[in-house]
Amino acid sequence: MGGRPPLRDNVGVRKVPITVPAKIAVAAAVAAAVLVIGAVGTDYGISIYAEYRLSCSVRTAAHLRSDPFVAIVAFPFLPQAVRGHYDELEIKANAVDQAVLGTASLEATMHSVDLNHAPWLIGPDTKLAVGELESRILIDSLHLGRYLSMSDLMVEAPTREISDATGGTTGSGISDSHGLVFTGTPRAAGFDHRVTVSVDIAIAPDDQATLVLTPTGILTGPDTANRSVPADRRDAVLRAFTARLPRQRLPFGVAPTAAGARGSDVIIEGVTRGVTVTLEQFKQS
């Protein structure tokens, strides 16, 4: 019968010939990609090892109970290591022993760090010349509440930030120091209900290592405990939120320049420039 011829495999498929130069170009591109991936992987691996060594060095020098989190913010890493000059280093240590509060968290961010001709793997005794140093103490609500004899204390940033170019916060996200929102049960004042109080915090003028808490009023309404306080109990309740926290020395001995809140933490921060530090100075008290 005059039907169509049966179909066969690959009917109508045309093979495109690949010339020798094209094959060489493809092979070269693949080889270059492999080299790039290998170089990036090697750079990343060495940076991870350098961070591990830095973490161990901070723990040893500052006598910490555990290795802190550290980051060497550098890509590619090897050129900076060869020069002995890192763009940025970060150190964060949680639950650091502290005499006054029990524990607190410490942070430091270093910009433009010169190793002073020391090896690129930072040891416990390495001196670091720092272009700009940010230093912070973080006091969480739980430990601050214990200090104030309030087991349920919660701290929040001001309900309305100061309207300025930074939105009322520092570059590290710390709120303004006025009007922080403290909520807790001031049983020490003989008041067994949760109340919300507006609190100003500041560095004591007579001691840069002392943080002062000064309540300014009772807050009611949305996003508060919404509990009013009788006039004859008001002073006692406000006194329960009043405190001085001594021995709050910032990492590396930096003088405090700001205080506020971030999340549920009260934070003291200091920023300085053009200093030389050692890792043992990370923990000051």
Q: What is the pLDDT of residues 223-235, one digit of tens each?
A: 999 999 999 999 9
Q: Does any domain span residue 156?
A: yes
d(CA 139, CA 147): 11
* pLDDT tens column, 101-134: 999 999 999 999 999 888 889 999 999 999 999 9
Q: How far is CA 135 from CA 67, 130, 182, 222, in A?
A: 18, 12, 24, 35
Q: Does any domain span residue 228?
A: yes
Q: Does any domain span residue 10?
A: no
What is the span of the domain harbouring residue 178?
30-281
Q: Residue 195 contacts by C-beta under 8 Å, 6 or more apart in sequence?
A: 183, 184, 185, 186, 218, 225, 227, 229, 237
* pLDDT tens column, 59-103: 999 999 999 999 998 778 888 988 899 999 999 999 999 989 999
Q: Does any domain span residue 5?
A: no
Give yes or no for a contact between 282 and 133, defined as CB atoms under 8 angstroms apart: no
Q: Does any domain span residue 216?
A: yes
CA 237, 238, 239, 245 dihedral sign is: positive
Nearest-CA neighbor of 270 among 107, 126, 112?
A: 107
Residue 165 has a pLDDT of 41
Residue 19 has a pLDDT of 60
Q: Does any domain span residue 245?
A: yes
Q: Does any domain span residue 147?
A: yes
How many domains does the chain contain in total? 1
